[in-house]
Amino acid sequence: MELRTLYPPIEPHDSGMLDVGDGDSIYWEVCGNPDGKPLVMVHGGPGAGCNAEHRRQFDPEAYRIVLFDQRNCGRSLPHASDPAVSLENNTTWNLVADMERLREHLGIDRWLVYGGSWGSALSLAYAQTHPDRVTELVLRGIFTLRPFELYWFYQEGASLLFPDLWEEYIAPIPEDEREDLIAAFAERVNSPDAEVRLPAARAWARWEGSAITLLPNKELVDHFGEPDYAVAFARIENHYFTNGGFFEDEQLIRDVDRIRHIPAVIVQGRYDVCTPPATAWDLHRAWPEAEFHMVDDAGHSFDEPGILHRLIEATDRFAKDR
């Protein structure tokens, strides 16, 4: 079978900064067909930002493609790479409100919501809050930030699959502070002292960068280790995980009833070490109406070949419904 691959590179035809209050502005851009079906892409991390590859997941003839960088990351300002920038107003529910503000700013009535990883969590939170604004959901690498999901990747579990990379992750944390690694990293990635902050942020981000693809990808790991990227990513992720994603227990699975009427596709890699398939399976069990694809030869990242194939197939199919 011929696998679907990325569309050709494109540039935005419109972009800007949107003031979302609290001193924050978020960067947004629109690509593709100005008269196409509206689609919003919700990026991961939290704290990862959007890039030019993300634009290429969608048919530019069919879609009016909206991408935005969530608060304090990517091209949004102020940027979390500066440890003096407070993350106090960076919460799931403020990001949901930011998406509503952006939708109204662009004059969009309803849109297809597309998100992977943390983007799947924020997409679910958005859809469960504003179900009338969502035409379809396409979700990949399901992440709901339940305590065991965080424990698995940042404390113990994934450590058993990648003992070599794990050593590098925990290196900045003294042995007597390793019972709670998320807490130990919180102190360091937020430190005003760059000699404390940088090694911790790089270790945190490189750990994630090395475990999200099925096979090692050095370029990706090095990208995650760039100082400004790593500090913003590590600070924002750590802030969300310290706060349980600002969710109640099992909230995103519990509230599936609010969205089960919305057409949806769920795509999950079998060997996704970052957001392991148990969560996608729980979502599938709670929401059997949503089309579910377990991709047997893929890890976490959107550009794993089998994952990308299913994602593009899904948005191409939904492009026909307007």
Binding footprint of ligand STX on the chain (CB under 6 A): 44-45, 48, 117-118, 143, 208, 212, 274, 301
CB 49 within 8 A of CB 117: no
- Residue of 272, 293, 301, 309 marked catalytic: 272
Q: Which is nearer to ligand STX, 37 or 238 (CB)?
A: 238
Active site residue 120: no
Active site residue 180: no
Q: Which is nearer to ligand STX, 28 or 118 (CB)?
A: 118
Could you tell me the smallest distance in angstroms from the CB atom of residue 43 to ligand STX?
6
CB 94 within 8 A of CB 20: yes
Could you tell me the smallest distance in angstroms from the CB atom of residue 74 to ligand STX?
11
Could you tell me the smallest distance in angstroms from the CB atom of residue 104 to ligand STX?
26
Q: Which is nearer to ligand STX, 63 or 224 (CB)?
A: 224
Q: Which is nearer to ligand STX, 240 or 318 (CB)?
A: 240
- Residue of 25, 117, 120, 123 marked catalytic: 117
Give 295's contacts (C-beta < 8 A, 6+ positions apart).
267, 268, 269, 270, 304, 306, 307, 310
Residue 201, CA distances (Å) to 177, 237, 278 in order: 16, 11, 28
Could you tell me the smallest distance in angstroms from the CB atom of residue 142 to ligand STX?
10
* Other beta carbons within 10 Å of 132: 8
Q: Which residues of 225-255 are buried (b: 16+ CB within 10 A; e: fewer)?
A: beeebbbbbbbbbbbbbeeebbbeeebbbeb
Token pair, residue 284, equals: 């599938």
Q: Which is nearer to ligand STX, 20 or 50 (CB)?
A: 50
How many helices (H) and strands (E) the chain has is answered by: 12, 8
Could you tell me the smallest distance in angstroms from the CB atom of residue 208 to ligand STX?
5
Token pair, residue 248, equals: 């109640």
Q: Which residues of 173-189 are buried (b: 16+ CB within 10 A; e: fewer)?
A: beeeeeeebeebbbebb
Q: Which is nearer to ligand STX, 136 or 304 (CB)?
A: 304
Active site residue 117: yes
Query: Among the residues of 155-276, which ranges form H helices?
Result: 158-161, 163-170, 181-189, 194-211, 218-224, 227-242, 251-254
Could you tell me the smallest distance in angstroms from the CB atom of residue 116 to ligand STX?
7
Rounded Cα–Cα distance for residues 306 and 61 (Å): 23
Q: Which is nearer to ligand STX, 36 or 44 (CB)?
A: 44
Could you tell me the smallest distance in angstroms from the CB atom of residue 49 to ligand STX?
8
Structural element, H or E, at residue 291 = strand 291-295
Active site residues: 117, 272, 300
